[in-house]
Amino acid sequence: MRSRFLCSVLVFASSLGSPAWAQSAAGQSSTKNGDVPENPSAMTKVPTGVILVKGAWSSASDSSTPVPEGGSVTDNVFTNTYFGITYPLPKNWTEKYKGPPPSDSGSYVLAQIQPSDDYKGPSRGNILITAQDLFFTSLPTTNAVDLTAYEKENLQSDYKLEPSPVAGKIAGRPFTSFAYWSPAAELHWYVLATEIRCHAVEFILTSRDTKLLGSFVEDMNKMQLPAEASPDKGEGGGAFPVCIKDYANEENLIARVDPILTDHRYTSVPVRIIIDKNGKVKHIHFLSAYPDQTKVITDALAEWKFKPYLKDGQPVEVETGILFGRPQIAPAPRKGQKPSVE
Amino acid sequence: MIKPAKITSVLVVVLSLAGITFAQKKDPPGAVDPGVQTASRGTGATIIVTDPNGYLSFFENGLARFQEVETVSKSANVGLGPRFNSNQCSSCHAFPAVGGTGAAVNPQFEFVSDGVAPDSTTPSFITANGPTREARFPFFFNSNGTVNTSAPNGGVEDLFTVSGRPDAGTCKLAQPPFAHALATNNVIFRIPTPTFGLGLVENLDDSTLLKNQQSNLKNNFGIAGTFNHNGNDGTISRFGWKAQNKSLQLFAGEAYNVEMGITNEIFNNERPLPEEDQLGTGLPANCLNLGGIGYPEDETNPLSSPNAAVLDDVSAFANFMRFLAPPKPGSVVLNGTTVPAATIAAGKALFSAIGCATCHNPTPGTTQASDFDPELSNQPVNAFSDIEIHHMGTGLADNVSQGGAGGEQFRTAPLWGLGQRIFLLHDGRTTNLITAIQAHASSGSEANTVISNFNSLTAAEQQEVLDFLRSL
């Protein structure tokens, strides 16, 4: 700032009025600073513990079609209709907090299970149930087997691998698994993964007490999983739509209108759609989108028309993913793999 | 006479007692927050060593300007107000050295009595020994005083006005309705972010941050952050509690305008309150151009010398912050005894193992080549932050959106210098490190599993983590 010691103060006779609710300027009113007239209706409070102003968030075109993040714990049972999972929780363990919304890279926290306030056991720990949408991951993985292999190969130096806790099936379905532990924290992690609807679904069990973790694994046999659950081929079907990566391509699209995203958010907008037997988009699930993006994309997808997908000669519903907005980083090849050539 | 805000050196003395007292009073049984550490961590020094480009004088000039007390008119430093949160950068960015965060004694508490804001009323949330704060109303009020939750506001509601100052002419302004905002739960707070080491953060290339994000993408803690982006060029923004500001220049320009009411070459116009702007009323005519110099009130000084004096204040502030050295880790004293280095190391290992370092990444990357100064080139940035924004749940949500960040998303707060921070979290709600850690857990937070892991540790191990954190 330049040195200016004295400048004339311009005084204008008029001043604009303050809003009626604003505290008055000194000397202009008898209303005390910071007060407004007593009015019960004016005292409505902003609710605490509620997120009213959201950034990019998940949403869906209808509320009746299940979505991955729609699971809940009721009567000590975790139920996720989208994935067809019913998982009775260990006694006195509970979901204290809901997880965050899905990320723009397709990462979900389905449930975080912790000891309840009534838990008296000697060991603490947690059960984290996650899902990774395999359509949107920028990791070099195409199924749950790949994902766990990637995790093992890229384990941080804080941890050391230990023998896998699982041999054979869980709840009648095959799982892939691995385990590691932290010498510093003396915590053990059991990671048990399968694939459902083109998502790698992981049960991540953590505790110092391997006996407790073993009991968690044993309890998981009480789960109900869909018939398709398999670590390398959970590709929908049955009661679910068939899930196919990159199905929305030129070969399958008859009509397409590109959404014009007008606000420069510089974000990726991952979208899962379900295409009905007639080739129209019947359901849209936004993993992470701002409201303006949601509207524009919804309007555009209403115009899309696909060739019906045939299975055994019959049209079936298809679930696929489309990434709007900013492209994602291309996955780096896994160790020992050559980069793919486009 | 208008007094300058409190001087940092005084605050250091006060704090050496106050910080420890806070910790001892409020710590739960078990682990104990060692409290604010008093031994120097090198804060306040410059990162410049060799200075081949002559920036040292710019740093020193910026440091001097950072401490200047601004007035409305009739001085060498005019332009304050008509609304403001403070009259001096270093009054808020005060501790443990100029450029830091809020001190133990809040200078804002005395602004009414010492003539900085004589006709204002000190809001009840500004206390003598509480955090130095700014306030925001998440939502606009309706004309009848009810909260309109469908009308997000989120802008800064300056705490004070120049009304009644002898250098403010006839300008009379009402303060925002803070008491009503408190009664309706429609006010949130922010404390100053420390600025040490920010030249390094500024010089991290986007590709470095993206690579770090990619390397942490698969974790078993339920964490998946994203970046806030600059609306102009789409690159990663990184400064402020929600990473809403792209550069130190922008950071300084916004603060000068918003916190002190001083227009400048980046933010050229006098800033009304958000509601005054919304209603189109703006500021009264007799509260405009109070400095009598026209706008902007801070600009380049072409005829000045030496070179550093040519710069506008905002550029000088940016240079000051850019060349501030990052805090150095140091020893920790707990209950009068120095914590062994092995304990600090054990705490660091635990911090990483239980997942804290997934977001609070010790070194998210190395800087690119700098044309400013070699000490900013190819340097590891030991900020303990991934610079990403994360969902932090209902417990920390403030319902304020900034850039791409929503109401519960916050940038991973860099932890370098944590050993000498008094007030913690974005709003300074606690002085207790344990409370701050536990506040990371709530519905919708990415940190829930990590906090669960922390709670699985023994009290002795938690103590190691706390000791490590206070070593930063």
Q: Which of B172, B349, B449 sits opposite A126 (nearest CB)?
A: B449
Average pLDDT estimate for A201-207:
97
Q: Which of A5, A45, A202 sits opposite B185 (nearest CB)?
A: A45
Cβ within 8 Å, pair B224-A52: no
Mean pLDDT for chain A overall: 87
Domain ranges (residues) in chain A: 57-222, 242-325
In the prediction, which pLDDT does B29 show?
Answer: 62
Q: Report the distance separating Cα A90 and Cα A282, nearest Å.
A: 38
How close is the nearest chain A Cα to the Cα of B6, in Å? Answer: 22
Partner residues linked to B22 by β-bridges: none
- Any B CB within 8 A of A42 CB: yes
Q: Considering all CA atoms of chain A, what is the largest pairwise distance in Å, rounded to the nearest integer?
A: 88
Q: Give the DSSP letter of residue B405.
A: B
Q: Give the DSSP letter of residue B250.
A: H
In the prediction, which pLDDT does A336 show?
Answer: 64
- Any A CB within 8 A of B138 CB: yes
How close is the nearest chain B Cα to the Cα of A233, in Å? Answer: 21
| pLDDT tens figures, A54-79 | 999 999 999 999 999 999 999 999 99
Q: What are phi and psi of B251, to 5 degrees?
A: -55, -45
Q: What are phi and psi of A215, to 5 degrees?
A: -70, -35
In the prediction, which pLDDT does A247 show?
Answer: 97
AA letter at A336: G
- Any A CB within 8 A of B143 CB: yes
In the prediction, which pLDDT does B431 show?
Answer: 98
Neighboring chain B residues of A207 at a CB cutoff of 8 Å: 456
Average pLDDT estimate for A150-175:
92
Domain A242-325, what fold?
Answer: TolA/TonB C-terminal domain (3.30.2420)
Q: Percentage of chain B surpassing pLDDT 90?
A: 93
Partner residues linked to B10 by β-bridges: none
Partner residues linked to A60 by β-bridges: A285
Strand-strand pairing, A318-325 and A242-243: parallel
Q: Which of B147, B163, B178 sits opposite A26 (nearest CB)?
A: B163
CA B56 from chain centre, in angstroms, equals 24
| pLDDT tens figures, B151-205 | 999 999 999 999 999 999 999 999 999 999 999 999 999 999 999 999 999 999 9
Tally Cβ neighbours within 10 Å of residue A30: 5
Neighboring chain A residues of B62 at a CB cutoff of 8 Å: none
pLDDT band at A166 (very low <50, low <70, confident <90, very high): confident
- Any A CB within 8 A of B340 CB: no
CA-CA distances (angstroms) from residue A17 to B169, B273, B357? 18, 13, 52
Q: Give the DSSP letter of residue B370.
A: -
Average pLDDT estimate for A198-211:
97
Residue whose entry in the numeric block shows the structure tokens 């072409």: B302
Average pLDDT estimate for A149-162:
95
| pLDDT tens figures, A88-146 | 999 999 999 999 999 999 999 999 999 998 898 888 999 999 999 999 998 999 999 99
Partner residues linked to B333 by β-bridges: B338
Burial of B279 (0-12, 13-18, 19+ CB in 10 A): middle
Residue whose entry in the numeric block shows the structure tokens 């709007």: A324
How close is the nearest chain A Cα to the Cα of B421, in Å? Answer: 27
- Any A CB within 8 A of B354 CB: yes
> What is the ipTM for the molecules in this complex?
0.90
Residue B456's nearest CA partner among A289, A270, A114 is A114
Q: Which of A53, A96, A159 sits opposite B152 (nearest CB)?
A: A53
Cβ within 8 Å, pair A8-B292: yes
Q: Give the E-state strand segments of B308-450 in sequence order.
A: 333-334, 337-338, 389-391, 409-411
Q: Which of B214, B292, B444 sits opposite A51 (nearest CB)?
A: B444
To test the contact with chain A by mutation, choose from B220, B270, B354 the residue with the greatest count of A C-beta atoms within 10 A, namely B220
CATH architecture observed for domain A57-222: 3-Layer(aba) Sandwich (3.40)
- Any B CB within 8 A of A51 CB: yes
Contacts of A172 (CB under 8 A, 6+ apart): A225
- Any A CB within 8 A of B73 CB: yes
Tokens of A311: 């299975």
Q: Which of B75, B174, B349 sits opposite A25 (nearest CB)?
A: B174
Mean pLDDT for chain B overall: 94
- Any A CB within 8 A of B234 CB: yes
Average pLDDT estimate for A19-32:
39
Q: Percentage of chain A surpassing pLDDT 70?
A: 84
How close is the nearest chain B Cα to the Cα of A322, in Å? Answer: 19
Neighboring chain B residues of A139 at a CB cutoff of 8 Å: 217-218
> At residue B13, does pLDDT exceed 60?
no
In the prediction, which pLDDT does B280 show?
Answer: 85
Cβ within 8 Å, pair B449-A20: no
- Any A CB within 8 A of B7 CB: no
Tokens of B129: 């020994």
Tokens of A129: 């149930």
- Any B CB within 8 A of A81 CB: no
Cis peptide leading into residue B296 (ω within 30°):
yes
CB A121 within 8 A of CB A311: no
Cβ within 8 Å, pair B172-A15: yes
CA-CA distances (angstroms) from residue A149 to A96, A142, A195, A340, B198? 31, 11, 14, 18, 38
Strand-strand pairing, B134-136 and B156-157: antiparallel
In the prediction, which pLDDT does A19 show?
Answer: 41
- Any A CB within 8 A of B170 CB: yes
Q: Report the distance separating Cα B268 and Cα B286, nearest Å.
A: 18
- Any B CB within 8 A of A293 CB: no
HEC-encoded secondary structure of chain A: CCCECCCCCCCCCCCCCCCCCCCCCCCCCCCCCCCCCCCHHHHCCCCCCCCCCCCCEEEECCCCCCCHHHCEEECCEEEECCCCEEEECCCCEEECCCCCCCCCCCEEEEEEEEECCCCCCCCCEEEEEEEEECCCCCCCCCCHHHHHHHHHHCCCCCCEEECCCCCCEECCEECEEEEEEECCCCEEEEEEEEEECCEEEEEEEEECCHHHHHHHHHHHHHCECCCCCCCCCCCECCCCCEECCCCCCCCCEEECCCCCCCCCCCCEEEEEEEECCCCEEEEEEEEEECHHHHHHHHHHHCCCEECCEEECCEEECEEEEEEEECCCCCCCCCCCCCCCCC
Q: Report the distance separating Cα A80 and Cα B389, nearest Å.
A: 28
Q: Report the distance separating Cα A242 and Cα A31, nearest Å.
A: 67
Q: What are phi and psi of B329, to 5 degrees?
A: -60, 155
CATH topology match: A57-222 vs A242-325: no
Output the DSSP codes for B143-206.
TTS-EEEEEE---EE-SEE-TT-TTSTT---PPP-HHHHHHTT--EEE-PPP-TTHHHHHT--H
Average pLDDT estimate for A5-11:
31
pLDDT band at A265 (very low <50, low <70, confident <90, very high): confident
Q: Which of A1, A21, A56 sits opposite B297 (nearest CB)?
A: A1
Helix axes B313-322, B248-260, angle to 10 degrees: 120
Q: Report the distance separating Cα B469 and Cα B449, nearest Å.
A: 19
Strand order in the sheet with B188-190: B156-157, B134-136, B188-190
Neighboring chain B residues of A11 at a CB cutoff of 8 Å: 169-170, 286
Q: Which of A20, A28, A191 sits opposite B220 (nearest CB)?
A: A191
In the prediction, which pLDDT does A337 show?
Answer: 63
> At residue A20, does pLDDT exceed 50?
no
